Structure 1
Amino acid sequence: MARRNLNDLQYFVTVAREGSFTRAAARLGITPSALSQVISALEAQLEIRLLNRTTRSVRPTVAGERLMQALGSRFDEIEQELEMLTALRDKPAGTVRITCGDLILTQTLLPKLTPVLQQYPDIQLEFDVYYGFRDIVAERFDAGIRLGGTIDKDMIAVPIGPQLRMAAVATADYFSKHGKPQSPKDLSAHNCINIRFPTHGGLYVWEFEKSGKQQNVHVTGQLIFNTTQHIVQAALQGLGIAYLPQEEFQPYLEQGLLQQVLEDWCPPFEGYYLYYPSRKQPSPAFALIIEALRWR
């Protein structure tokens, strides 16, 4: 393949990964029409169709999938090596992309990373707030944030916070009207505020444990959300019992706006971890991020 086609090949890989000419063009900094022309010219030169185009999506053909798998990792390696050259500069630089939840971003990431940003103005951080599980390799994130025990074994995991506890809470007014559950099974008689996971679409099964005995409860109620902050607000409105990590409710528990029940059924568990691919060599900027977030 002639050297002049290396850019064309990278453009193809970007379109295949993004599944959209519009998104790929935005990432590459060119117009969608210009990008479409490049891909068409590449297909004409190779004499084979690489992408199936519809009005709603763009998908690689069998040939396109094979080419993307062959080239994608090589382009990633080149980009990674170019990023590593920043180590030769006086100050680390570059963009670090992290996918995480909203609360951990507000309470942990921003406070701990503010000094890094102030000291190293050439570092850029991009945060993707998402409550499901991202494929950080396929979606080209540098790292993700998850609770311990949910991270794939082939990832490097760095603790960034203490152990956590779950908490079942509601307002005093709710408990005065409906009573307080004495065991997890009593929740079946209560109006429970649940969460639907965006990754697989299922409702969360509330998990409890006491003296090594586990109880999983399929709760019901009038409200279901896919974001935790709205669950907290619904609980504050007296609309039912909510069940989330205690840190989500802590300010309102301290103010007496919410009351906690079933505390003896909520043992501590592993907290949040930053994770990234084991084969990824951290750039100088990313190495600073890791050390700033590491729980000591």
Structure 2
Amino acid sequence: MDDNKQFNDLYAFLQVAKLGSFTQAATVLNVQPSALSHRINDLEKRLKVKLLNRTTRSVSTTEAGQQLLDRTAPMFAVIQQELSALSDYTEKMSGKIRINCPERPAFEFIYPKIKLFLVDNPEVKIEVFINNLFIDIIAERFDFGVRSGEDVPQDMVAVQISNENLMALVASPHYLDQFGKIEHLKQLTEHRCIVFSFTAEYRLSEWEFIEQGQLNKIRVSENLVFNSQALIKQAVLDGLGITWLPATTVNSEIQAGKLVSILPQLAISYPPMYLYYPQNKHKTPAMIALIEKLRWQNRNSI
């Protein structure tokens, strides 16, 4: 049995039963009354039950027809509501947006923009999942991912959402008073260092600098390890050691005198952060608007 035909004929029956007229139902369905009558006859034959009582003046449901009407009409109503709801994805600023993002850009680049975006678009739902590991955003059903430019897969569309990532070597004034100032990179190996960890095995304990135009990598001790940059920042503020973080994460503390920038002339910069998504991804109006909100050239509009 053709399921599509069964479904279509059932919908035709509902229109006739609700309107009590083949003529009116035919107008709604944009078919001829005679063609509609044949469809109902075919449906009754397939179901082996009479659904409608017909006279020259009226049409009414049989007991079986009324039961079918009562049970299926609400289902079709729900289907119609769901189909109508899909228009939200093409006409309204609504729907859900899921973003997978590392911790720092989530705090520094994503949240400051989305908190204002949601004020203007209250029907949009946004989910931000902080994850410092690389994942397949398609397999995990995320709309967007956020990564450094050098880490974005080549088959993705990438939208810049930050400036270049300048790094900063910092410590608290109290720590430097206690353990001494650092005037050369080699001295780092003599100090307590607070290290970021992506996983239990992968720690960022090789810090990079630009010295005399050359890349210089220094392997530091892992005196304190966190997989959260927020905890690393707190630990360095508490004087527990020296750390190496993106400058945007600690600039305000440096300006306030709570942290000291060490050897800033040797700081290295990495590529900007990017929002990325598949090339063939269907984007709702809300997604398009959020992309533009996050785009780096709009940074002064937050």
* 1:268 Cα deviation from its structure 2 partner: 3.0
Q: How does 1:154-169 map to 2 (within 5 A)?
A: 154-169=155-170
Task: Indicate conservation of the 8 Å contact 2:99/2:143, yes or no.
Answer: yes
Q: Give yes or no for contact 2:89–2:95 (8 Å, CA) kept in 1.
A: no
1:108, 1:129 → 2: CA distance? 13
**What SS does the corresponding residue of 1:149 show, helix, strand or coil?**
helix
Tell me by how many angstroms 1:173 deviates. Answer: 2.2
Task: Trace 1:20-169 onto structure 2 (pairs within 5 A).
Answer: 85-89=87-91, 91-169=92-170
1:161–1:273 Cα contact (<8 Å) kept? yes
Q: Contact between 1:167 and 1:246, CA under 8 Å: does it hold in 2?
A: yes
CA distance in 2, matches of 1:247, 1:228: 12
Give distance in 2, aligned partners of 1:208 and 1:82: 56
Flag structure 1 segments of 5+ consecutive residues without an equivalent.
Answer: 4-80
Partner residue in 1 for 2:252 = 251
Q: CA deviation at 1:97?
A: 0.2
How many residues get paired? 217
Where in structure 2 are there 5+ consecutive unaligned residues?
Answer: 4-82, 298-302
1:233 aligns with 234
Deviations along 1:231-276, whole A, 9 cap, x unmatched? 1111011111010101111221111011011212113332221111
| Equivalent residue, structure 2, for 1:261 | 262
Moved more, 242-251 or 117-126: 117-126
TM-score where L is the length of structure 2 = 0.66
Maintained 8 Å contact 1:84/1:283? no
Of the structure 1 ranges 252-261 and 100-109, higher mean CA displacement relative to structure 2 is found in: 100-109
Letter in 2 for 1:203: R
Identical amino acids, percent of aligned pairs: 34
Q: Which residue of 1 aligns with 2:38?
A: none
1:197 is aligned with what amino acid?
F
Conserved 8 A contact 1:163-1:269 = yes
Query: Does structure 1 conserve the Cα–Cα contact (< 8 Å) formed by 2:100 and 2:129?
Result: yes
Distance change (3 Å), C-alpha of 1:259 and 1:287: same
CA 124–217 in structure 1, closer or farther in 2 if over 3 Å, else same = same
- Aligned residue number for residue 203 of structure 1: 203
Are the aligned partners of 1:210 and 1:267 in contact in 2 as well (CA < 8 Å)? no
1:108-154 per-residue CA deviation (whole Å, 9 max, x = no partner) reads 32322234322323211001012222221111110111122121111
Letter in 2 for 1:86: D
Change (3 A) 1:238 1:116: closer
SS at the partner of 1:166?
A: strand
* CA contact 2:99–2:129 (8 Å) conserved in 1: yes
Name whichever of 111-120 and 258-267 sits farther off.
Answer: 111-120
| Contact 2:90 2:284 (8 Å CA) reproduced | no
